[in-house]
């Protein structure tokens, strides 16, 4: 067997050598063929690139075919429904030639085509968020596009955007002049809560007297004044240090508070003794006491530094007009039933008064002191607030947990907004973008924030 094994081994060695020689020859042949194929492929690809480069000068390899720019309106702009919006833009082809006229088409994602040309005006935009596109087409059918987004909304805030949980007994509200804070009295907690507009929550609490009701902020935003009903006092709060810096005795059952435009006096209605206390902010003492009607609640001062004060006498069914230059009553205006609060127009020409048991808001002209309108609103209207331009009045209605929005141009209710239970106080930020409503239902006190849809 050994000789067979040796022969076989010799044969295997011979065959292996032959195979290796053949494989080496074939390997060299394969490598050569592969290199030739790669070379041909490279030449074919390069030729294609050269041919493409020598083609149409307006090909995609040379950048955008058409340049389009929207100049106006600005991206993320806000516009009031029903007003005309001007759209302006430019376009040019690759050679720098301007495209004009029908070559430029404006479209809205909601309303479709809205105009043509470098400039167009459109007043029919639907409410909502629009993607606006300007599409330009050159003579060869090449297209370019630019796009922006805009919002079209109502002329006034109309949507509940936040709910803020508060301390028990949330009642009256006052907005800071800088629009950064809203101050809320908490009747059951003997506190004033500082609500951050940016954070949508109260960030500080300030202890005051017992049963704080009305609150007002000085024109410079540095002080707040709070009527404490059970203490018969007025608390002075520093809005720099957020602490009480003074307590002034006033009449019996202080309720409403208003500060004169120059910040020199604070007027306080005393519901239980039918008077108004006029407090000097310089001496921090009562400078005068004025008898008014029965159970005075809300009061307001004539705008523009005027010398008149208006007091709503809930049980007297009247408005008392007081001259602050003499601290004397100059007029009494009869109203239907239980007037609670008053808000004047910015020019002082009219007063809007909530009649709690009449379910209407009365409109009074201050020239002649005549009632010119009674506007039906929600059940048991309570507090009022007006936008800075005088265009809209917001009225809380305790009887049906809502806020009615009155358009003052025609004295009609244009909206009713559901809020929390038993809405009471109301305040509007100086830029008119947010409306705050204090819902004073026991155990579920909240502030409803009304704004534009987000």
Helix (H) or strand (E) holding 287: strand 285-291
Contacts of 291 (CB under 8 A, 6+ apart): 274, 275, 329
Contact 299, 341 (CB under 8 A): no
Per-residue pLDDT at 10: 37
Helix (H) or strand (E) holding 4: helix 2-53
Q: Using CA atoms, how far apart are residues 128 and 402, in angstroms rounded to an integer?
A: 24
Contact 64, 144 (CB under 8 A): yes
Q: Using CA atoms, how far apart are residues 315 and 290, in angstroms rounded to an integer?
A: 17
Mean of pLDDT values over 324-333:
95
Whether pLDDT at 369 is above 50: yes
Q: Per-residue pLDDT tens for 5-28?
A: 443 343 333 433 344 444 444 455
**Multiple choice CATH, 62-153, 2.60.120.260, 3.40.50.970, 3.40.720.10, 2.60.40.10:** 2.60.40.10
Per-residue pLDDT at 63: 56
Q: Is 62 helix (H, G, I), strand (E, B) or coil?
A: helix
Calculate what percentage of the chain has a pLDDT beyond 90. Answer: 81
Radius of gyration of the chain (CA): 39
Q: Per-residue pLDDT tens for 139-178?
A: 999 999 999 999 999 999 999 999 999 988 888 999 999 9
pLDDT-derived band at 35, boundaries 50, 70, 90: low
Which residue has tokens 């039906």? 376
Whether pLDDT at 395 is above 60: yes
Q: Using CA atoms, how far apart are residues 354 and 330, in angstroms rounded to an integer?
A: 22
Contacts of 256 (CB under 8 A, 6+ apart): 213, 214, 227, 268, 269, 296, 297, 298, 299, 312, 341
Whether pLDDT at 50 is above 70: no
Q: Per-residue pLDDT tens for 230-286?
A: 999 999 999 999 999 999 999 999 999 999 999 999 999 999 999 999 999 999 999
Q: Which residue has the higher pLDDT, 48 or 416?
A: 416
Q: Which of 182, 179, 177 is nearest to 192 (CA)?
A: 182
Average pLDDT over the chain, rounded to an integer: 89
Whether pLDDT at 55 is above 80: no
The secondary structure of residue 60, as a DSSP letter, is G
State how far the alpha carbon of 355 is from the alpha carbons of 380, 412, 448, in Å.
7, 16, 23
The secondary structure of residue 304, as a DSSP letter, is T
Residue 396 gets the label, from left (phi > 0), alpha (psi -120 to 50) or beta, of: beta
pLDDT-derived band at 64, boundaries 50, 70, 90: low
State how far the alpha carbon of 379 is from the alpha carbons of 354, 355, 403, 446, 450, in Å.
11, 10, 10, 20, 20
Pairing type for strands 77-80 and 143-153 reads parallel
Using DSSP, how many helices (H) and how many strands (E) does the chain show? 1, 36
Q: Place domain 159-451 in its CATH homologous superfamily.
A: YVTN repeat-like/Quinoprotein amine dehydrogenase (2.130.10.10)
Q: Which two tokens stand for residue 185?
A: 């009295």
Per-residue pLDDT at 170: 85
Cβ-in-10-Å burial (0-12, 13-18, 19+) of 35 comes to: exposed
Q: Per-residue pLDDT tens for 81-123?
A: 999 999 999 999 999 999 999 999 999 999 999 999 999 999 9
Whether omega for the bond prior to residue 219 falls within 30 degrees of 0, making it cis, is no
Contact 297, 312 (CB under 8 A): yes
Per-residue pLDDT at 261: 93
Per-residue pLDDT at 60: 47
Q: HEC profile for 5-59?
A: HHHHHHHHHHHHHHHHHHHHHHHHHHHHHHHHHHHHHHHHHHHHHHHHHCCCCCC
Q: Which of 363, 408, 349, 355 is nearest to 383 (CA)?
A: 355
Per-residue pLDDT at 158: 96
């Amino acid at each position: 067997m050994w000789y067979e094994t040796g022969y076989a081994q010799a044969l295997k060695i011979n065959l292996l050598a032959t195979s290796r020689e053949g494989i080496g020859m074939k390997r060299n042949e394969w490598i050569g063929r592969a290199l030739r194929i790669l070379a041909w492929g490279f030449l074919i690809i390069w030729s294609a690139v050269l041919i493409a480069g020598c083609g149409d000068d307006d090909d995609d390899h040379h950048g955008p075919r058409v340049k389009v720019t929207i100049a106006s309106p600005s991206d993320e702009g806000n516009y009031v429904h029903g007003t005309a919006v001007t759209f302006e833009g430019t376009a040019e082809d690759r050679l720098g030639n301007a495209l004009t006229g029908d070559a430029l088409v404006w479209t809205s994602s909601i309303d479709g085509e809205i105009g043509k040309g470098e400039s167009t005006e459109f007043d029919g935009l639907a409410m909502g968020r629009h993607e606006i596109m300007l599409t330009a087409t050159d003579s060869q059918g090449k297209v370019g596009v630019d796009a922006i987004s805009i919002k079209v909304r109502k002329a006034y805030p109309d949507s509940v955007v936040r709910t803020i949980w508060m301390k028990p007994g949330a009642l009256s509200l006052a907005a800071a002049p800088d629009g950064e804070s809203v101050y809320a009295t908490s009747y059951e907690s003997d506190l004033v809560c500082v609500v951050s507009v940016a954070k949508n929550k109260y960030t500080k609490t300030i202890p005051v007297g017992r049963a704080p009701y009305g609150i007002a902020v000085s024109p410079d935003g540095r002080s707040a004044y709070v009527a404490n009903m059970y203490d018969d006092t007025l608390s002075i709060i520093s809005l720099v240090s957020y602490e009480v810096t003074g307590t002034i005795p006033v009449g019996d059952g202080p309720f409403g508070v208003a500060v004169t435009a120059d910040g020199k006096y604070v007027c306080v209605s005393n519901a239980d003794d039918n008077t108004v206390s006029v407090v000097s902010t310089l001496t921090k003492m009562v400078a005068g006491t004025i008898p008014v009607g029965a159970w005075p609640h809300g009061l307001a001062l004539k705008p523009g530094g005027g010398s008149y004060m208006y007091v709503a006498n809930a049980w007297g069914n009247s408005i008392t007009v007081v001259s602050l230059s003499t601290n004397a009553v100059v007029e009494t205006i009869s109203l239907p039933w239980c007037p609670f609060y008053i808000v004047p127009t910015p020019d002082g020409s009219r007063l809007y008064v909530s009649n709690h048991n009449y379910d209407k808001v009365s409109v009074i002209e201050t020239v002649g002191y005549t009632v010119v309108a009674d506007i039906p609103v929600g059940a048991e209207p309570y507090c009022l607030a007006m936008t800075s331009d005088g265009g809209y009045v917001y009225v809380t209605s305790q009887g049906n947990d809502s806020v009615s929005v009155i358009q003052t141009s025609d004295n009609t209710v244009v909206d009713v907004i559901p809020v929390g239970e038993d809405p009471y106080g109301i305040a509007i930020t100086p830029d008119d973008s947010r409306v705050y409503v204090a819902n004073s239902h026991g155990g579920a006190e909240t502030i409803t924030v009304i704004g534009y849809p987000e």
